[in-house]
Amino acid sequence: MAISKLVDALTWAAEAAVDLSAKLHYFAKVDTTGKIDLAADGGPVIGVIHEAAVAGRGVSVQFGGIGKVIAAQTIAIGAILASDNAGKAVPAAVGDWVVGIAISGGDADAVVSFIFASSRRSA
């Protein structure tokens, strides 16, 4: 069972760059225009989509605490997480931006809980 802990101070909202209405619990990035889009494969992540919306509308992103994310493949408890090319969670590879650590596991398309870590490149 996936859990989350949301603190209002750990959310941010901006305009959706594309239709994100079906992307609740996906990793997000901010594009060069300041809009929210899905995170890319191993790239920087600003947080996870907490309130989804269509393009041009406000999207809320959670960037700290305990969050929930959709798994792209099997995720084990304790896995260090990164984004795949569709904004889903995968185990981080060398050179990926680390997003957090899984505190629940699951198979592909499951919602897993994780603790945010400072987004940075892995060693």
pLDDT tens per residue, range 3-55: 665 555 689 999 999 999 999 999 999 999 999 999 999 999 999 999 999 99
What's residue 5's pLDDT? 59
Looking at the domain assignment, is residue 3 inside a domain? no
Last residue of some domain: 19, 42, 62?
62
Shared-domain flag, residues 57 and 74: no
**Single-letter amino acid code for the residue at 39:** A
The upper half-sphere exposure of residue 119, i.e. CA atoms within 13 Å in the direction of its Cβ, equals: 18
Shared-domain flag, residues 56 and 72: no
Shared-domain flag, residues 53 and 100: no
Contacts of 13 (CB under 8 A, 6+ apart): 51, 58, 59, 60, 61
Shared-domain flag, residues 79 and 45: no
Shared-domain flag, residues 16 and 30: yes
pLDDT tens per residue, range 62-112: 999 999 999 999 999 999 999 999 999 999 999 899 999 999 999 999 999
Cα–Cα distance, 15 to 26 (Å, whole number): 16
Contacts of 39 (CB under 8 A, 6+ apart): 26, 27, 28, 29, 45, 46, 83, 87
Query: pTM of the predicted model, to two decimals?
Result: 0.90
pLDDT tens per residue, range 40-50: 999 999 999 99
Shared-domain flag, residues 89 and 51: no
Say if strands 11-15 and 47-51 run parallel, antiparallel, or are unpaired.
Answer: unpaired
Cα–Cα distance, 80 to 103 (Å, whole number): 10
Cα–Cα distance, 21 to 5 (Å, whole number): 22
What range defines the domain where residue 109 resides? 66-121
Shared-domain flag, residues 70 and 116: yes
Shared-domain flag, residues 36 and 81: no
